[in-house]
Amino acid sequence: MLLLAVDTATPAVTVALHDGESVVAEANQVDARRHGELLLPSVDRVLAEAGLKLDAVTGIVVGVGPGPYTGLRVGLVTAATFASVLGVPVHGLCTLDGLAYAAGLEGGIEGPFAVATDARRKEVYWARYEDPRTRVGDPAVDRPADIADQVAGLPAVGAGALLYPEVFKDPRGPEHQSAAALAALAAVKLAAGEEFLPAQPLYLRRPDAQVPKNYKVVTPK
């Protein structure tokens, strides 16, 4: 097994290779405006570090969000393209689930806890977890003040928790998504025969860019 994991649903452009037992190589950069520029060079970098070619990959893992429209699509389109070219399966995972699993691996959090990422517009994408592998309900997007009662007293991981300490009063690491944790979670799920999400974007709200209503037609009659 050799999994190539990518996630661009957050400001982190993160890529990792996982052989089913451990991370072989990873690359992480945080830049909310350069997902398209950074992702493929990051893939090249982890393959070079591992001394492998792309055709050695047996499966693609991709974070499906929730996340902003443009950045999220970069990772999903790239994952779908690789899977098609290589003839390998693509496994979708909730980005928040990756952060939750990383909280267990890196932060030693057992649960319950919350995960929150920055959704902009003074909102967060968030979910509650019983433990690093068990999400309670579906991911949501809300203003932090509106969910204060639901996350009260819980440790919280992710950049969204750090942005709103008045609501997430016990912020923990990690701050950013990690494809290494996403790949490790995928390897566990594959070994257990568990299902994955479709490799389709989980937006939770409409994109910022909208077609103007009642715009003036300028084409000649």
Inter-CA distances, 183 with 9, 129, 205, 211, Å: 15, 19, 26, 37
Residue-wise pLDDT for 147-186, tens only, equals 999 999 999 999 999 999 999 999 998 999 999 999 999 9
Identify the CA nearest to 75 among candidates 29, 8, 14: 8
Residue-wise pLDDT for 17-33, tens only, equals 999 999 999 999 999 89
End-to-end Cα separation, the chain, in angstroms: 60
Residue-wise pLDDT for 95-126, tens only, equals 999 999 999 988 789 889 999 999 999 999 99
Helix (H) or strand (E) segment spanning residue 44: helix 35-50
- Which regions of 150-202 does DSSP assign to beta strands (E)? 155-157, 170-172
